[in-house]
Structure 1
Amino acid sequence: MIALDTNILARFYVADPADPEAARQRPIAHRLLTESPQVFVPLTVILELEWVLRAFYGFADEDFVRVVKHLLGLPNVNVEEWSRIADALAWHTEGLDFADALHLLASSHCTEFISFDDRRFARRAKRLAVTPAVVVPAK
């Protein structure tokens, strides 16, 4: 089994005709994902992929969700903690930041998730009734 880094997935899912390096790497990424008998994608790679697609390539939330759902559906691809990623995608489509959704899901055994600077996160988590509760400590 081989493991893939974020840049391989980005090259697979993003056609960047302005980048000659991307044009050279895209067929390799395609071959790795479609011809390798078993591929492993770490959870951290999915988290980084969301950032790369959003911040660097300007992907909308729904496009990122579509990419990850496609990846999760490839028969030869084993994504670490795929069920947590699927749950995070669901919360993400409901308005939570993808990373925040992953943080909450990883903390499901806790009673609260404390964050200093993210009142919007706390409001959205409360609206969605997700657990643990997101708490911003008083000053």
Structure 2
Amino acid sequence: MRSVDTNVVLRLIVADDKAQVREVQTLLQNEVLHVSLTVLIEVEWVLRSAYGWRRERTAEVLTVLTDLDGLDVEEAAMVRWAAGRLAEGADFADMIHLVAARHMSGFVTFDRSLARGAGEDAPLPVETLGVS
């Protein structure tokens, strides 16, 4: 299995280069492609910053990616959780940090919005420092 870069995933999503889209579709017909958590962080950032997508649309597309035939999305169930939090207003990269740390005993931050964004069903306890 090969892993793909952000630009490959983006071609699937935005389909803004027909030749590149065909190349990606051909790959998907012949093999399963791995999408890492780090690539997903960048995909969300590019969709928001370069394409001006709203968080709800981005969250929906990220969720669809987790079920797309031919893609092996790392921690797909947890990515769906993070996309749901994104749709509710959380920072996607912060939520993916929690996903990546989920086997730890906790996550420590000074960022109060990260803790709020994670919600009650976070994959691990989030501790906010500097709060009395």
TM-score, scaled to structure 2: 0.79
Match for 1:32: what amino acid?
Answer: L
Partner in structure 2 of residue 68 of structure 1: 62
Secondary structure of 1:59's aligned partner = coil
**Unaligned regions of 5+ residues in structure 2, if any?**
none
Deviation at 1:56, TM superposition (A): 1.0
1:104 to 98, 113, 129: 98
Match status 1:135 vs 2:124 = no
Shift in alpha-carbon separation, 1:112–1:29, aligned structure 2, 3 A? closer
Q: Please say if residues 85 and 117 of structure 2, whose CA atoms lie closer than 8 Å, have aligned partners that are also in contact.
A: no
1:82 to 73, 76, 85: 76
CA change 1:3–1:112 in 2 (3 A) is closer
- The 3-state SS of whatever aligns with 1:40 is strand
Larger Cα-atom Rg: 1
CA contact (8 A) 1:12 1:29 kept: yes
Aligned length: 128
Given that residues 41 and 78 in structure 1 are in contact (C-alpha distance below 8 angstroms), is that contact kept between their aligned partners in structure 2? yes
Give unpaired runs (5+ residues) of structure 1.
17-21
- Shift in Å at residue 123 of structure 1? 4.0
Q: How far apart in 2 are the matches of 1:11 and 1:80?
A: 19
Provide the residue aligned with 2:26 in structure 1: 31
Paired residues for 1:119-134 under 5 Å: 119-125=112-118, 128-129=119-120, 130=122, 131-134=124-127
Residues 33-53 of structure 1, C-alpha deviation per residue, up to 9 Å, x if partnerless?
Answer: 3x2331111111111111111
Q: Is the 8 A contact 1:121 1:134 kept in 2?
A: no
Is the CA contact (8 Å cut-off) linking 2:55 and 2:89 kept in structure 1?
no
- Matched residue type, 1:2: R
How many percent of aligned residue pairs carry the same amino acid? Answer: 36
C-alpha separation in 1, matches of 2:74 and 2:115: 27
**Equivalents in 2 of 1:136, 1:30: separation in Å?**
46
- Please state if 1:4 is matched with 2:4: yes
User: Amino acid of the residue matched to residue 12 of structure 1?
Assistant: L
Q: What TM-score results when the alignment is normalised by the length of structure 1? A: 0.76
SS at match of 1:28: helix
